[in-house]
Amino acid sequence: MFFRMITGAFRRQWKKMLMIAMTVALGASIATAMLNVMLSVGDKINEELKAYGSNITVVPRSEAVISHLYDVDETEEQAEYLPEETLGEFLTIFWANNIVDFTPLLDTPATVNGQEVPVVGAWFDHHLAFVKKGTTYERNTGIINLRSWWDITDGTWLDEAKLKGDRYAMVGQKLAATLSLKAGDTFTVATDHGTETLTVTGIFESGDDEEGMLFTTLSTAQRLTGAEGQYKKAEVSAITSPDDELAVKAAKNPDLLTGDEYDLWYCTAYVSSICFQIQEAIPQASASAVRQIADSEGKILEKTELLMALITLMSLIGATLGISNLVTSGVMERSAELALMKAVGAKNGQITRLILTEIILTALVGAAVGYFMGYAFAQIIGQRVFSSSIEMSGMVAFLVTILVIAVTLVGSLPAVRMILRLRPSEVLHGGH
């Protein structure tokens, strides 16, 4: 009988039920879209912030100590290098997936046409394959993504994969002007360790000191420096979590953390824990955060996430009120029908059960439709803004379902209470 009444109600009142379902669907779609966008906005903005370049630098550990211990003069200081094989270790650390890009750098003074020129060797878009303990790690990485602000004013980026050999260079605008070089030109660069004839692939504008430098492949720079298979410094761009109290505490000295704190710190992508892991993997290296990038990233991420959270909260409140509003009016509307049921002897509990079952069934259908609508909206936002899809969290589906049921129940409460107080004769008589 109960089921017949419910199916009957749906058949007879499908228009009203449809209205309620539609409103619930709209509310649920706002909730779904906003919650999903909110949960993934941190990652998305973090990726965008990678445009600022590397946030970690890796240098040989002993560099700072040598001159202190032996009081050697700067000019005679023994250059310290890291072996090129260590670069693969970046791919093996706990947070390797958060390392977006990295490049080794090897700089040396050189002369071109008798003029002093700073030469920097780097990976441009290097294919790295690293084998450790039987596992092969592969990655394409290099300076192309770490210098997103470079404008190539002439020619193209140095494409390591396409070009034959490694005797190529990219020249800063200022240097290109003084040497009167343009894309496609060849020139000779000389150091104490030899000479190389390089072809210019492109001229770049960077707005900083690098405009006066010459960038070439790492292998060419190694020959010019006489440091075969070595590099001086590495720039690493990693997706990190904003620093909090724990990170600040750990930055001072990881040994002071308690066991639990240490585990939490180690397994969170703080810039300090990534640095620590790099040093673990490459014992002869010292990794430190580039504060300008790391700190600002944290600040902007925090602000964006908070902003989105509050907008989401606002939309949720709006959606909630919208749903409960309509549910209230939907139930109230049927006072005549419910009063009649009371008149023919239905108990309050029975009526309440009937009403709530109806409403919740309607709301769940609405929520299901709304979830998929919300999915579509989230994807539109993701594609439009970040040109990438937004990951749907299973938690959101669960949350939205709970939210819809709770809101519908709360929304029907005042109406149900009113109905229970109804005096059938009054309602049926028509005077309320």
Partner 1 sequence: MNKKHRMFIRMVMASLLRRRSRMIVALLAIVVGATILSGLGMIYYDVPRQMSAQFRSYGANVILTPSDGTALKDSAVNQSMAFFPSEQLEGYTPYRYENTKLHNLPVTLAGTDFASVLKTSPYWHIAGTLPNQNGQTLVGKHIAEQFGLRVGDSLEPINSFEVTEDMDVTALLPEEVYTDPATGERYCDHILSLTVAGILETGGSEEDYIYVTLSDLKDFTLTDRGYDIVEVSAAAREDALKGYLTAINQQVSGVSAKVVKRVTASESTVLSKLESLVLIVTIVVLALTMICVATTMMAVITERRREIGLRKALGALDSSIVAEFLSEGLVLGGIGGLIGSILGYLFADVVSMNVFSSAITFRPLLLPITIVVSVVVTGLACLIPIRSAVDVDPALVLKGE
The residue within the footprint of partner 1, chosen from 129, 314, 406, 420 (CB under 8 A), is 314
Give the range of 350-358, 384-392, 393-401, 420-428 binding partner 1 by CB under 8 A: 384-392
Residue 120 binds to partner 1 (criterion: CB under 8 A) = no
Please select the residue that binds partner 1; options are 315, 379, 393, 401, rule is CB under 8 A.
315
Q: Which of residues 319-348 bind partner 1 (CB under 8 A)?
A: 319, 321-322, 325-326, 328-330, 332-333
Choice between 199 and 304, CB closer to partner 1: 304
Q: From the CB of residue 148, how many other CB atoms can be counted at a distance below 10 Å? A: 12
Total residues at the site for partner 1 (CB under 8 A)?
72
Cβ-Cβ contacts under 8 Å for 95 (sequence gap 6 or more): 238, 269, 273, 274, 277
Which string of x and - marks every residue 124-153 that binds partner 1 (by CB under 8 A)?
------------------------xx-x--
Residue 340 structure tokens:
């009649």
Give the burial class of 239: count Cβ atoms within 10 A of its Cβ; 0-12 exposed, 13-18 middle, 19 or more buried: buried
**207 binds partner 1, rule: CB under 8 A:** yes
For residue 255, the minimal CB distance to partner 1 (Å) is 18
Q: To the nearest whole angstrom, how small is the minimum distance from the Cβ of residue 428 to partner 1?
A: 13
Site for partner 1 in 213-242 (CB under 8 A): none
Residue 191 to residue 110: CA distance in whole angstroms: 5
Q: Which of 90, 215, 371, 377 binds partner 1 (CB under 8 A)?
A: 377
If binding is defined by CB under 8 A, does position 172 make contact with partner 1?
no
Structure tokens that stand for 302 in this block: 């925090």
- The residues in 64-83 that bind partner 1, with binding defined as CB under 8 A, are 64-65, 67-68, 71, 73-74
Within 25-54, which residues bind partner 1 (CB under 8 A)?
26-27, 29-30, 33-34, 37, 41, 45, 48-49, 51-53
CA 146 to chain centre: 17
Q: Is 247 in the site for partner 1 (CB under 8 A)?
A: no
Query: Dihedral sign, CA of 48, 51, 52, 56?
Result: positive
Contacts of 366 (CB under 8 A, 6+ apart): 20, 21, 22, 23, 24, 25, 28, 404
Let me know: does 341 contact 394? Beta carbons within 8 Å.
Answer: no
> Does position 363 bind partner 1 by CB under 8 A?
no
User: How is 350-366 classified by DSSP, letter by letter?
Assistant: HHHHHHHHHHHHHHHHH
